Every structure is written in C-alpha cells, then in structure tokens.
A and B are shown apart, each in its own frame.
Chain A
C-alpha cells in the first residue's frame, strides 16, 4: 500500500467511528475521547477494531490496542488498578491520550477511557509503518 498521510488515515478512522458509534462526522476530532465525547461503550471497541481492520487491511487485536502486556503485568498493578510505574509505562506507549479521568481512577477495566481519536490515528499510523 502506498504511504498514507495522517490526514488520509484520520478520514478513514473518522468514517469507521461515524459508522460504529452513529455520531456526526464533525464530532470526530483528533482530541475527542471515544467514551466521554463520542459515547462509546466498551463493547463498541470490538466493532471499532473490526471496522479499522477492514478499512486499513491490517490485523488488530484488542489486547494490542489496550496495551494488555502492560495492564496485565503484575509489577504494574495492585488490586486491578495501575500503580505509578504502570501509569508511566502506559503514558509512554499511548500518545495523545486523555488522562484526566483515568488518573483519578486507574482501574484497568477503565483503560479505554484514555482513548481519543488521535490515539487511534497514531496506532494505525504505527501499524501501517510496520506493515
């Protein structure tokens, strides 16, 4: 596949989110959070992953997107909450995340609250670069 620009990736991500979440295209901005701003629920993640796979022709696992290797690492958590080291590792991995909600309650079940549209675009950019 010819290299896609960030704007082209963003447009395809936007269309996938519009279809998966029944939101208006102008609501999907780089800084919009999937949960708070676009109203996604955890189950929508599966739908979003399937749509991104189709749109970009890549294989994506939910574990990869939610950084499962970090959030299930015993050194990084206590009672299913990320500790400071875990949070630091996660922040290094996820760029353009929205950390305000998650930092107040870093329960690993709530990791998805960190995701913004920009996070998804970054993720796809990396995936395409690695192809």
Chain B
C-alpha cells in the first residue's frame, strides 16, 4: 500500500506555495465503504493530501534536511463533498517559517468550487522537544520519498522546478 494522496504537482514556488492535484477514482477501495452507495473522499484524507502537499513545500524550503512532522491541524473546514471522477486541487502557502516549525494555509478546490480550507502547523522535530534526540537518518524524507519526488518532477515533457 502506498500512502500518497496526490498525483502530481501543478505549480511549485520554493518556500512560498505549491499546488498539487489528485484524481479521485472508484479504484480506491475505501470509497466503497465510505459510504456504501454514496462514495465520497473522507475529509481526513483531504487533510492528509494537504499535509503532504504542504509538508513537501516546507521540507523543500530547507533542502529536505529537516524532519518535517505534522504537529497540529489548526483549522479544517469543509464546504462540499468530493466524489469519484472529480479532481481535487490542493493549494498550500507557507505563512510563517521558523527554524523549529512552520505554519501553512491551504485551500482545496474541485474546479471552481471551494471544497475545504485546511491550516496546518509543522514541526522540524530535531529543533524541538527539549533537545530529545531522534535518529540521524531522515525517516520523513527517505530514499523512497526522494524517488517519488522524481516522479512528481515530471509533468509531461515539462518539469516542475522542484
């Protein structure tokens, strides 16, 4: 199983904003249980999609050297449901960036419709938690992740500057 909740980046401005899209499809098993006869993408997974989009934006801002962990969902508001066949567009902006942490603001759209708003706090965990030590290896931005990034960097014949 791959826990990846967007398919590609559409825009990426280092340290500022990123736009990623996901195509929602009935091939995703969970939609058959959520809900039987009325499949909608769970709001929790929309938050996860935003966390991945924004998390990569925050990680890239420091050259993927920090271990970027989702610390807190500051705010999550949903206005519409997302159904199979729709394309979700996650737009994340860095509002504040510190050595120890970052705050991002995000909107989720399907076409022109605002589906949700998700604001997140990320922690650079090596810079936090009273000097507690974590493994040196970056278990957030792993080799597997960096390989995935290569996939994201290709958009048709163009390349996303990431």
Please report A residues at the B interface, Cβ cutoff 8 Å.
Answer: 20, 42-44, 46-47, 49-50, 53-54, 61-62, 66, 71-72, 108-109, 111
Contacts and interface: CB of A to CB of B under 8 A. Distances in A.
Interface residues of B, number: 16
Given A50-B96, A53-B96, A61-B100, A43 B71 contact: yes
Closest 10 CB pairs of A and B: A46-B101, A43-B71, A50-B103, A109-B130, A47-B121, A50-B96, A62-B100, A47-B72, A46-B121, A43-B72
B146 to A, nearest CB: 26
Contact of B123 (A43, A54, A66, A72): A43
13 contacts: A43-B71, A43-B121, A43-B123, A44-B72, A46-B72, A47-B121, A50-B98, A50-B101, A50-B103, A61-B99, A62-B101, A66-B130, A109-B130
Nearest to A54: B96
B100 A47 contact: no
B27 interface: no
Contacts of A62: 100-101, 128
**Which of A61, A62, A71 is packed against the most chain B CB atoms within 10 Å?**
A62
Contacts of B128: 46, 62
A66 B127 CA distance: 13
A17 to B, nearest CB: 13
Interface in B104-123: 121, 123
B72 A111 contact: no
B129 interface: yes
Contacts of B103: 47, 50
Contacts of B101: 46, 49-50, 62
A102 to B, nearest CB: 13
A42 B98 contact: no
A46 B96 contact: no
A54 B98 CA distance: 13
Contacts of B131: 72, 108
B138 interface: no
A71 B103 CA distance: 26
B100 A46 contact: yes
Contacts of B142: none
A50 B131 CA distance: 20
Nearest to B70: A43
B151 interface: no
A61 to B, nearest CB: 7
A61 B97 CA distance: 11
Given A50-B103, A50-B121, A42 B72 contact: no
Contacts of B99: 61
A109 B130 CA distance: 6
B58 to A, nearest CB: 13
Contacts of B96: 50, 53-54
